[in-house]
């Protein structure tokens, strides 16, 4: 169908690649992806770190797992291309939980508390926005519900149970990309969890991207091409002009349609200078008020692991939660350290919110030192060696992301997600379209949400041209 217009896609992350794949499958012949960096993936970033069985061992600086299998668009790609062998589900509480005075909490108690925590977390899914206290947060709700469930345990276990709850609240925080105090309770149910657990990708998340890219024409992706300005004001031409910065100077592209897939963090900081005319006021309001949080990872590597395989999961059960100075006590926001599939010498630590942002201002040596001190303290072993290497993510200070993923904040509502997803029309044509995890109402913050959003916008362009062709025949 050569009658179909030209499409420029901004960003080669999961949303942009999925949009391009779907457009090309639908008969569009003029599709270009403009990618500001030198790689595909966006907030998916599989990275080599160490060795495993003679090959480069992998770590995920960004997206880590497939969240659920039932109805997960990314899981379907992985399954179709045999990327799930061996099939490994995440065990969130693998390894052991430790107290800050260097004591290991029994596995049976940890598992019982985890069961209770998950039951309370599931009740968030059933909350009616009209019933929930408008001022209440995830933090208040979880604390109150967990306090009630404390009565199910003997009194001599209460201190350990509370410490385990604190550990699990750190897990829920990095899962949500923000300190729980900043998450409004009334919208807790708008995110939809998929069944099937969290599934690991043995060949790394990049293996999924690679099979999508193989379906795109050669030179479809223009790397190191940073979009600076999108002018879409001409009613006569019905085209948009995109001005880009490249290593060799400015470059211009023209297209009938632009699908913008950059992160909400980038839209927050750049929308006013990126679009001409400015985006509609309701869309600007939604961009400004939606939440965009930060999660970072700390990878520590030892030449010789100090742990037994299968027991390297170290969960930090703090006596008190990190609700004070997040900069001074940033390390209290670390959930703990986990083992990594197919990378025997490395542990991954998780940190969220304000503490994760502060982490980016610190040196590798400071972070390595503090993490070593924590591991020695919680394991009660002053002889644990300092790691030989460290790699960290820094999503907040990365100008191409400016954070990790979106959430519904106190100043926003689920309707803002729908508003962000609305195309901008000129003379009845969808000229500027929006995709990315922040535009997906049920699955924001996930890679399957990003994939669905890219397919959604590609499908809307396909429908637009089918209706146009039908109207021309009549």
The pLDDT of residue 3 is above 60: no
Predicted pLDDT at 427: 87
The pLDDT of residue 450 is above 50: yes
CA-CA distance, 190 to 193, in Å (whole number)? 10
Query: How confident is residue 55, by pLDDT bands cut at 50, 70 and 90?
Result: confident
Query: How confident is residue 2, by pLDDT bands cut at 50, 70 and 90?
Result: very low
Order of strands, sheet of 257-260, starting from the edge strand that comes earlier in the sequence: 221-222, 31-34, 7-10, 257-260, 429-434, 424-426
Q: Which whole number is the average pLDDT over 347-372?
A: 97
Taking only the tens place, the pLDDT of each residue in 226-269 is 999 999 987 666 789 999 999 999 999 999 999 999 999 999 99
CA-CA distance, 430 to 30, in Å (whole number)? 16
Whole-number percent of the chain with pLDDT over 90: 88
Predicted pLDDT at 1: 38
CA-CA distance, 305 to 344, in Å (whole number)? 8
* Residue pair 407/176 in contact by the 8 Å Cβ criterion: yes
Query: How confident is residue 109, by pLDDT bands cut at 50, 70 and 90?
Result: very high
CA-CA distance, 313 to 333, in Å (whole number)? 16
Taking only the tens place, the pLDDT of each residue in 423-448 is 999 989 999 999 999 999 999 999 99
CATH 3.90.660.10 at 96-196+295-392, yes or no: yes
Q: Of 309, 297, 380, 293, which is closest to residue 336 (Cα–Cα)?
A: 297
Taking only the tens place, the pLDDT of each residue in 153-186 is 999 999 999 999 999 999 999 999 899 999 999 9
Q: Higher pLDDT residue, 22 or 4? A: 22
Q: Which whole number is the average pLDDT over 6-29?
A: 97
Structure pTM?
0.96
β-partners of residue 348 are 299, 338
Predicted pLDDT at 324: 74
CA-CA distance, 244 to 274, in Å (whole number)? 11
Q: Of 119, 18, 117, which is closest to residue 72 (Cα–Cα)?
A: 18
Among the ranges given (37-41, 45-49, 188-192, 265-269), the one the predictor scored with the smallest mean pLDDT: 188-192
Mean pLDDT of the chain: 95
Q: What architecture is the 7-64+204-291+404-473 domain classified under in CATH?
A: 3-Layer(bba) Sandwich (3.50)
Predicted pLDDT at 131: 76
CA-CA distance, 340 to 469, in Å (whole number)? 52
Q: Which whole number is the average pLDDT over 81-93?
A: 95
Q: Which whole number is the average pLDDT over 47-75?
A: 94
Domain ranges of the chain: 7-64+204-291+404-473, 96-196+295-392
The pLDDT of residue 112 is above 70: yes
Predicted pLDDT at 236: 66
Taking only the tens place, the pLDDT of each residue in 313-349 is 999 999 998 777 888 899 999 999 999 999 999 999 9
Whole-number percent of the chain with pLDDT over 70: 99
């Amino acid at each position: 169908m050569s009658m179909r217009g030209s499409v420029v896609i901004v960003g080669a992350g999961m949303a942009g690649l999925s949009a391009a794949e779907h457009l090309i499958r639908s008969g569009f012949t003029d599709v270009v992806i403009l990618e500001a960096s030198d790689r595909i993936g966006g907030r998916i970033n599989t990275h080599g770190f160490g060795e495993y069985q003679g090959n480069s061992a992998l770590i995920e600086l960004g997206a880590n797992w497939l969240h659920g299998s039932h109805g997960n668009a990314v899981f379907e790609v992985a399954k179709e291309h045999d990327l799930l062998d061996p099939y490994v589900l995440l065990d969130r509480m693998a390894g052991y939980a430790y107290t800050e005075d260097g004591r290991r909490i029994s596995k049976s108690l940890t598992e019982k508390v985890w069961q209770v925590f998950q039951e309370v977390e599931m009740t968030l899914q059933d909350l009616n926005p009209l019933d929930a206290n408008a001022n209440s947060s995830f933090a208040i709700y979880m604390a109150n519900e967990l306090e009630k469930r404390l009565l199910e345990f003997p009194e001599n276990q209460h201190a350990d149970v509370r410490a385990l709850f604190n550990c699990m609240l750190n897990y829920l925080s990095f899962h949500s990309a923000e300190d729980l105090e900043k998450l409004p309770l009334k919208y807790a149910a708008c995110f939809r969890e998929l069944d099937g657990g969290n599934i690991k990708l043995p060949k790394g998340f990049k293996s999924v991207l690679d099979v999508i890219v193989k379906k795109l024409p050669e030179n479809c992706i223009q790397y190191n091409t940073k979009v600076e300005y999108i002018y879409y004001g001409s009613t006569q031409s019905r085209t948009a002009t995109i001005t880009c910065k490249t290593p060799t100077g400015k470059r211009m592209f023209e297209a009938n349609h632009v699908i913008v897939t950059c992160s909400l963090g980038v839209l927050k900081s750049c929308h006013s200078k990126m679009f001409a005319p400015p985006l509609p006021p309701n869309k600007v309001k939604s961009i400004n008020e939606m939440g965009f949080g930060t999660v970072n990872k700390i990878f520590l590597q030892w030449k010789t692991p100090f742990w037994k395989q299968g027991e390297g999961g170290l969960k930090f059960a703090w006596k008190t939660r990190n609700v004070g100075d997040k900069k001074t006590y940033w390390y209290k926001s670390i959930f703990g350290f986990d083992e990594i599939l197919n990378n025997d010498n490395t542990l991954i630590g998780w940190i969220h919110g304000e503490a994760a942002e502060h982490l980016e201002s610190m040196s590798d040596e400071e972070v390595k030192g503090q993490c070593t001190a924590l591991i020695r303290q919680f394991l009660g072993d002053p002889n644990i060696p300092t790691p030989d290497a460290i790699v960290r993510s820094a999503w907040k200070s990365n100008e191409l992301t400016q954070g990790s993923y979106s959430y519904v904040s106190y100043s926003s509502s689920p309707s803002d997600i729908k508003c962000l997803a609305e195309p901008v029309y000129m003379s009845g044509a969808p000229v500027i379209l929006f995709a990315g995890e922040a535009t997906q109402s049920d699955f924001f913050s996930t890679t399957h949400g990003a994939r669905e959003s890219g397919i959604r916008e590609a499908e809307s362009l396909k429908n637009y041209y089918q209706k146009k062709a039908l109207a021309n025949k009549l």
